[in-house]
Amino acid sequence: MSTPFTPAEVRHAVELLASRSLIRLVTEIDDNGAIPPRRLAGTLPDLSTHQLRSASDTARTHGLIRVASGAGLELTDSGSELADLYDAMARWARRHAVPAPVCEFSRRIRHVLDLLAPSLTTEHGDGLAPLSAVTGAGAADLARPRTLLIQWLAANPQVARAFEPEPVA
């Protein structure tokens, strides 16, 4: 399975998906259900108002969350699949104690995304680059999170494509 991504698209997708505030928002809703917008700050007190607004705006723009009448912010199907992807990445990172034996969930996600990023570009011919950035015991089983990431990005191409501002008439 290969979906061509330019280096710029991969950078954009990794930066977006590795955002600590987006990871916190998506995983909190996945773990505990919808969050009423007025309770967002109390639910995620470690994030500033700016971080919360940015994360919820980004998640809505990219179709990861929606506002459900009477319930609050809830995950879309894409958001739920992203939460599953985050879980798969974190499991791999925990199993291999990276980036450290004990660290924050969002750091594990960032680390795995950074490992996978070079293998997602089209710089190496017609298909995707080989998964050569990782060596050692974890390289073989990193193929599963990579496949899940490629599938998720293929189903959500808006995440890899930077939004261009509309031209002013």
Instruction: Encode pLDDT of 146-168 as tens digits.
Output: 999 999 999 999 999 865 444 44
Instruction: Encode pLDDT of 55-102 as tens digits.
Output: 999 999 999 999 999 899 999 999 999 999 999 999 999 999 999 999
Q: How far apart are CA 166 and CA 169, in angstroms?
A: 9
Helix count and strand count (H, E) for the chain: 7, 2
